[in-house]
């Protein structure tokens, strides 16, 4: 199996040399290396930014008092059955 992969790599290398030519090959490899370094740096920066924005502790769920619950606006207009607010409250 390794022999097949080695043969494939050699064929790909030959095709690349024919397409790009021996003169442009070093420049293309250098450009590819720079692009990979930039990609790695951006990925690392994004990962660092994501870890900095994540909260250090988990928040506890909010517990509302009866006064706070009654102060909440009631905005139920219709339920899944299509009944209006008054019909839902009446049932």
pLDDT in tens, the chain (91 residues): 566 788 898 899 888 888 878 788 888 889 989 999 999 999 999 888 888 876 656 667 677 777 776 776 666 555 566 666 677 666 6
Whether 77 contacts 84, CB under 8 Å: yes
Give backbone dihedrals phi and psi of 84, rounded to 5 degrees, phi first. -75, 180
> What does the chain come to in residues?
91
Distance, CA of 89 to CA of 81 (rounded, Å): 13
Q: Where are the domains of the chain?
A: 2-90
How deeply is 42 buried, as exposed, middle or buried, from its count of CB atoms within 10 A (0-12, 13-18, 19+)?
Answer: exposed
Q: Give strand pairing partners of 84.
A: 78
Identify the pLDDT of residue 58: 64
SS3 (DSSP) at 78: strand
Identify the pLDDT of residue 28: 82
Distance, CA of 47 to CA of 53 (rounded, Å): 10
């Amino acid at each position: 199996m390794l022999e097949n992969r080695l043969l494939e790599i050699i064929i790909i290398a030959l095709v690349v040399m024919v397409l790009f030519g021996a003169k442009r090959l070093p420049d293309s490899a250098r450009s590819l290396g720079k692009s990979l370094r930039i990609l790695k740096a951006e990925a690392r920066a994004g990962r660092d930014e994501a870890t900095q924005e994540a909260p250090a502790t988990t928040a506890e769920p909010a517990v509302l008092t009866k006064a706070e619950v009654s102060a909440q606006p009631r905005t139920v207009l219709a339920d899944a059955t299509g009944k209006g607010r008054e019909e839902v409250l009446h049932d």
